[in-house]
Amino acid sequence: MKNKTLLILIAVVIVLGIVLFTMVFTGKQTTAPTTEPVNENATVNSNSETFLQDFVACKVNQIVGQGADPSQTFTASILGIENGKCHYKLDVGGSGVDCLFPSEALSDKLLNQLFGNAEGLEDVVATSCTPY
């Protein structure tokens, strides 16, 4: 049962990651955020150009865009520090992953893993993220 849950989590992360990766790296325009950050006083950056740097620093940022299917939107959110961990959420069409990463795990490789590219960090994603 645990292996099946892990496989489902990995599959969801890969699919969502591919959609996000396509949007971020094809230069599609992002839109203003639609949800409030964890820190209500924080300003959401909503900038795909600084998303990687903000992810590594766990600075609040959110990008919203369309996937390969124009009717499907995605939202990638860095919600800031929560209980000493970085809260990250990826939503594609109402389903996705909700993650709390230890600060020492934050890196460009982890973000790349979330985009569906093998970086050897599957265990970090599996233990830090919950699919919904």
Domain ranges (residues) in the chain: 2-131
Is the pLDDT at 17 greater than 70? The verdict is: no
pLDDT digits (tens, 9 = 90+) for 71-117: 888 899 999 999 999 999 999 888 999 999 999 999 999 998 987 89
Task: Please state, in angstroms and rounded to a whole number, the distance separating the CA atoms of residues 128 and 111.
Answer: 13
User: Residue 35 has what DSSP assignment?
Assistant: S
Task: Please state, in angstroms and rounded to a whole number, the distance separating the CA atoms of residues 96 and 131.
Answer: 6
Q: What is the DSSP string of 59-95?
A: --EEEEEE-SSTT-EEEEEEEEEETTEEEEEEEETTE
Say whether 38 sits in a helix, a strand or coil: coil
